[in-house]
Homo-oligomer: A and B are copies of this chain.
Amino acid sequence: MRVLGVDPGLIATGYGVVEEGPGGLRPLARGTVRPPRGAPLPERLAEIHRRLSEIVAEYQPDVVAVEEVYLARNTSSAMLTAQVLGVVKLVAEGRKLRSYAPREVKKWICGSGSAPKEQMIHMMEHLLSAKELGSDHAADALAVAVCALFDQRP
């Protein structure tokens, strides 16, 4: 089973591809899409769409897993992130889409929905046998991918 995890954001969208096989979890790719900040919104959304479509074409994930956007203090920022999320979900066409709340991701990985960030990083490095998870956005994307793999286990 192979999962593309995505942490959507207009300034930075993180992605991570993780595979679970007989040897355990294996990170295949991770990175951050940072569309040109001065560009008009359609061009920024198109850049995110294009890059994620390339990742999907290259790694052929069974599942696309995303962090769902919730209304926090900053409403207009959440509304923008929701627009990015729509573009991200578009690349899941023909595959399974799974959405998780940030608390769910923490719960699947650390056993607690309120686990602190350091504990998440520690667990993720351990689970992926990786010393370095990339940017915060890439790390969040890898975490949602691992969360979906755990959730999909029979």
Contacts and interface: CB of A to CB of B under 8 A. Distances in A.
Given A71-B75, A75-B71, A42 B83 contact: no
Main secondary structure of the interface of A (DSSP, over half): helix
Interface stretch (A19-27, A84-92, A142-150): A84-92
Contacts of A97: 40-42
Nearest to A79: B82
A11 interface: no
Contacts of A64: 42
Contacts of A107: none
Contact of A49 (B79, B84, B90, B94): B90
Interface centre among A40, A64, A93 (most CB of B within 10 A): A93
B79 A42 contact: no
Nearest to A84: B86
A133 interface: no
Q: Please tell me how many copies of the chain the complex holds.
A: 2
A46 interface: yes
A141 interface: no
Contacts of A93: 42-43, 45-46
A90 B46 contact: yes
A37 interface: no
Interface centre among A46, A69, A84, A91 (most CB of B within 10 A): A46
A95 interface: yes
